[in-house]
Chains A and B, each alone.
Chain A
Amino acid sequence: MTVEELKGLKSDKVVDARGTACPGPLLAAKKAIGDIQPGQIMEVLSADEGTKSDIPKWSKKQNYEYLGSIDEDGMYRLFLKK
């Protein structure tokens, strides 16, 4: 998805993992994914650049659909569909 499309998405769950370094964002994502239903969208906020590579790989392994990311000032917004 393009950045514009991502910006227009309405996330069903936002996980703010900006206060943690690796593996914090991954653990936070794993914990939060249980709160949403298949088809719903989760957004992970991270300040750790490694998360940008981790979340797509994690999504693939867990059979979630990774939608893309937006780079904002000092943080990354990563979107996926359960």
Chain B
Amino acid sequence: MANELELQVKQLEAQLKELQENQPKDQLSIIVFSGDLDKVLAAFIIATGARAMDSEVKMFFTFWGTSILRAKNKSGNGKDFMSNMLGWMLPKGSTQAKLSKLNMGGMGTEMLKSVMKKKNVSSLESLIEVAGELGVEIAICQMSMDLMGFKKEEMIDYPNLSYVGVGTYLSDAQESKIQLFI
């Protein structure tokens, strides 16, 4: 009888340990799919806010979001014709990002930027810098890089930057209490 109880306790302990290990962490995973100024702004406000709350933050940039992380003053070498064309058509970094609504040929975007300044809302550039200081991790989808023809040497200098595949995102997301797709 005593042995049986002991065995049951051991089994319960093992189950509890397994449950604890599979518990999501105090972590936020954000997929940044959009390259629109307003949407990426929201992503970085949430990311930096989460760091203030001491949550771990992992941002996964894919598709149009990737172009936000291009450096304005850098360029990639050895691109083929299509990559050059795409590179030319897509925004070269955060300063060239446009609003998803009311862009009106760029006029709306400029208006919003001036209103943001007036109302002390941080620019996207400064939010990215703050995110870096606060330890927000950024992972860029390597497949998107290849698809858009972006080279690593043309991306921004960011303290926590890596190039990954979907598996990395999924494993991070599985461990995160909060997951967002923007």
The distance in angstroms between the C-alpha atoms of A23 and B122, with both chains bound, is 9
Within 8 A of B (CB), among A11-70: 19-24, 26-27, 29-30, 58, 61-62
Q: Out of A19, A26, A30, A58, which one reaches B120, CB within 8 Å?
A: A19
The distance in angstroms between the C-alpha atoms of A4 and B51, with both chains bound, is 33
Task: Determine the chain A residues whose CB is within 8 A of the CB of B130 once the complex forms.
Answer: 27
Q: Out of A19, A22, A27, A62, which one reaches B54, CB within 8 Å?
A: A62
At the interface, yes or no: B48 with Cβ under 8 Å from chain A? yes
A20 and B54 within 8 A (CB): no
B52 and A23 within 8 A (CB): yes
Task: Determine the chain A residues whose CB is within 8 A of the CB of B54 once the complex forms.
Answer: 30, 61-62
Nearest residue, chain B, Cβ from A61: B53
Task: Determine the chain A residues whose CB is within 8 A of the CB of B120 once the complex forms.
Answer: 19-21, 24
The distance in angstroms between the C-alpha atoms of A62 and B26, with both chains bound, is 12
Using a Cβ–Cβ cut-off of 8 Å, how many residues does chain A contribute to the interface with B?
A: 13
Nearest residue, chain A, Cβ from B50: A23
Interface residues on chain B, size class: 10 to 19
Q: How many A-B residue pairs have CB under 8 A?
A: 34
Q: Out of A21, A27, A61, A62, which one reaches B48, CB within 8 Å?
A: A27
Among B45, B49, B119, B130, max chain A CB count under 10 A is at: B49
B122 and A24 within 8 A (CB): yes
Within 8 A of A (CB), among B87-106: none
The distance in angstroms between the C-alpha atoms of A62 and B54, with both chains bound, is 8
B119 and A21 within 8 A (CB): yes
Given contacts A19-B120, A62-B53, 10 further A-B contacts (CB under 8 A): A20-B122, A21-B120, A22-B49, A22-B121, A24-B120, A26-B52, A26-B53, A27-B130, A29-B52, A30-B52
Residues on A facing B (Cβ under 8 Å): 19-24, 26-27, 29-30, 58, 61-62
